[in-house]
Amino acid sequence: MSGSAGQPLALARSFLFVPATRPERFAKALASGADAVIIDLEDAVAPGEKAQARQLLAQAWAGLAPAGRARVLVRVNAGHTVWHGDDLNLLGGLVGLGVAGVVLSKAEHAAQLSHVAAVLGSGCALVPLIESVAGLDAADALARCPQVLRLAFGNLDFQADAGLACGPDESELTAVRLAVLLASRRAQLPSPIDGVTADTQDTEQLARDLLRSRRGGFGAKLCIHPSQVAAVNAAFTPSPTEIDWARRVLAASDAAGGGVVSLDGRMVDAPVLLLAQRTLARAADAANAADAAHGHGGPDHA
């Protein structure tokens, strides 16, 4: 399932979590500037509150405008948990009402995704969350499953599963992030979604994490607080300087009839031309995502 302007979630740069137990925050999350919102039935909900969380989500869903629903995913509990089946039963009723996608916690088997797709139907996008060693081993199979929109990386859970004690730069996870990226590329998916920055007050750490994400080929990031959204959106949007450079590269290449040319003292060959084309494509995708978020679709008072 490849990205297009008609698929806001494929273009989204920021994915903001909101607990399913806090329905009063749903519309606020959609109005936060986040390109997409993930209503969370998993980690943000205590075991004893799972049933209540599903009930609150079902009750609040009708109050969201269609434009908002198109930007909402629901994170369900992992397939091996006792809550998974009830989560799918709930979402089976919401799919016809416009739930756009499902985030699958601790995705590890293609069969899990096939089952979810069968229950929810072909109109529901799937985002497998790779947050275990087993999930990483299955990354290629997960990425190639029907209805998979993008891969996402659960950096904190992965560290715990692998027994890692990562430093602030998470250099220990460099190879893991590359594997997620390459699995996405092999399956011709949009760029993957990077994991969270846990400290919502540390803007410098967030900036460092975003630089790593973008350099590493990721195109989006999971957010756990609205204060992170603006920085995330900016990081995955080409700057005016980058856009200007890309346009000049294409113009120089066109003027040379597609041959090798020099621009600003740098040789413009096929790889540089491809980078320029991708920069302009990312700029267009960011604009489309921002447009979708601008009509955020809060409560439907019609």
**In degrees, to the nearest 5, what angle opens at C-alpha 220 toward C-alphas 133 and 277?**
115
Map tokens 């294409």 to a residue. 250
> How far is Cα 269 from Cα 79, in angstroms, rounded to an integer?
47
Read off the pTM.
0.88
Q: What is the pLDDT of residue 3?
A: 38
Q: What is the pLDDT of residue 135?
A: 98
Q: What is the pLDDT of residue 1?
A: 47
Give the contacts of 169 (CB within 8 A, at least 6 positions apart). Answer: 208, 212
Q: What is the pLDDT of residue 298?
A: 55
Closest CA to 3 of 299, 291, 301, 282: 282
Asked if 112 contacts 79 with a C-beta cutoff of 8 angstroms, the reply is yes
Q: What is the pLDDT of residue 5?
A: 32
pLDDT tens across 107-155, in order? Answer: 999 999 999 999 888 888 999 999 999 999 999 999 999 999 999 999 9
Dig out the tokens for 212 from the structure: 């790593």
Residue type for position 21: T
Can you list the residues of the chain whose pLDDT is less than 70?
1-7, 95-98, 294-302
Q: What is the pLDDT of residue 83?
A: 97
DSSP 77-141: PPTTSTTHHHHHHHHHHHHTTT--EEEETT---HHHHHHHHHHH-TTSEEEEEE-SHHHHHTHHH
